[in-house]
């Protein structure tokens, strides 16, 4: 991996996300781009038609821009002190998803906090802004909980379809330094059958990339029990393509990935075909 973008909003700089990036740079030097946006966009919060005097709004926006600049300075200091080459393209601007999509188009990975990202708008994650990033990013997304610890185990959510294999492939290519970790590839289905789709192909692929591979099938309802199962996996990271569903369908059925992000219990790597 060569290029990473760190996405933050002004007053919510994530030390955990930076610590994860720092560990990657120690394994292989990377170029880190910081994308910092205002934590609150008062143009949306208070329409000008309802607040004709622009003075108070301008004062609030200026305060938010100071917060963003403070995070930018912290970002610079941390990069310099840890020997990380960095760039800044988005500094103290109001939120614009297209700007971050462009950053992701030229990056190998986008990293953000699992709990702090735009929490001033909506603390319950994944909020509207995180959903926008995950659904629109043109590179894989890694969300990091603030209680992040060194990763010791990889979990892969496998459903026998191309999205889950696409996520595993990208993860394997981007993180060769994790090849010696234990990897558990989990197929979950409550149909009562013991077979795992394309198990021979899956074994051949996984065993060429990892030295300690375990593939298993769990017989329970994904939405109700998978999150509980993950909680027992200490210092693990989840690889999934589960956000490939449309934004509309996500409004009506909460996925296990969303539940894991909401619980802030584990880093989650999300990749889907564009």
E strand or H helix at 182, and its extent?
A: strand 182-188
Tokens of 94: 């109001």
Report residue 250 as tokens: 């996500």
Nearest to 236 by CA among 136, 168, 160, 149: 149
pLDDT score, position 20: 97
For the stretch 132-181, pLDDT in tens is 999 999 999 999 999 998 999 999 988 888 888 999 999 999 999 999 99
**Can you give the pLDDT at residue 67?**
83
Q: Is the peptide bond before 126 cis (omega within 30 degrees of 0)?
A: yes
CATH 3.40.50.620 residue window(s) in the chain: 3-144, 153-270
| Fold of domain 153-270 | Rossmann fold (3.40.50)
Reported as a single tens digit per residue, the pLDDT across 43-69 is 555 555 555 555 666 677 777 888 888
- Residues 3-144, CATH architecture: 3-Layer(aba) Sandwich (3.40)
38 pLDDT tier (thresholds 50, 70, 90)? confident
- In the three-class reduction of DSSP (H, G, I as helix; E, B as strand; rest coil), residue 267 is classed as coil
Closest-CA residue to 141 (of 110, 97, 113): 110
Contact 236, 182 (CB under 8 A): no
Q: Is the pTM of this model over 0.85?
A: yes
When the pLDDT of each residue in the chain is averaged and rounded to a whole number, the result is 85
Give percent of the chain above pLDDT 90.
Answer: 55
Q: Which of 35-44, 120-129, 151-160, 219-228 has the highest mean pLDDT?
A: 151-160
| Calpha distance 63→223 (Å, rounded) | 42
Among 110-114, 187-191, 240-244, the range with the most confident prediction by mean pLDDT is 110-114
């Amino acid at each position: 991996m060569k290029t990473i973008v760190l996405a933050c909003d002004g007053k919510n700089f994530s030390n955990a996300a930076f610590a994860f990036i720092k560990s990657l740079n120690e394994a292989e030097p990377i170029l880190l781009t910081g994308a910092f946006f205002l934590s609150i966009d008062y143009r949306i919060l208070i329409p000008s038609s309802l607040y004709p005097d622009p003075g108070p709004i301008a004062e609030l926006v200026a305060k938010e821009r100071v917060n963003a600049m403070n995070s930018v300075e912290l970002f610079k200091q941390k990069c310099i002190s840890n020997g990380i080459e960095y760039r800044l393209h988005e500094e103290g601007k109001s939120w614009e998803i297209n700007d971050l999509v462009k950053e992701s188009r030229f990056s190998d990975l986008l990293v953000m906090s699992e709990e702090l990202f735009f929490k001033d708008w909506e603390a319950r994650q994944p909020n509207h802004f995180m959903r926008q990033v995950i659904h629109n990013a043109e590179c894989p997304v890694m969300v990091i909980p603030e209680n992040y610890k060194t990763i010791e185990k990889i979990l892969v959510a496998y459903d026998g379809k191309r999205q889950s294999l696409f996520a595993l492939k990208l993860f394997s290519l981007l993180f060769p330094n994790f090849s010696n970790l234990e990897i558990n590839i989990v197929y979950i289905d409550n149909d009562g059958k013991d077979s795992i789709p394309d198990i021979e192909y899956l074994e051949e692929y996984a065993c060429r990339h990892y030295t300690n591979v375990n593939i298993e099938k769990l017989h329970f309802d994904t939405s109700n029990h998978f999150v509980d199962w993950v909680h027992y996996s200490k210092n693990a990271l989840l690889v999934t393509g589960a956000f490939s569903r449309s934004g509309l369908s996500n409004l009506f059925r909460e996925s296990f990935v969303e539940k894991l992000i909401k619980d802030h219990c584990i880093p989650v790597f999300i990749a889907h075909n564009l």
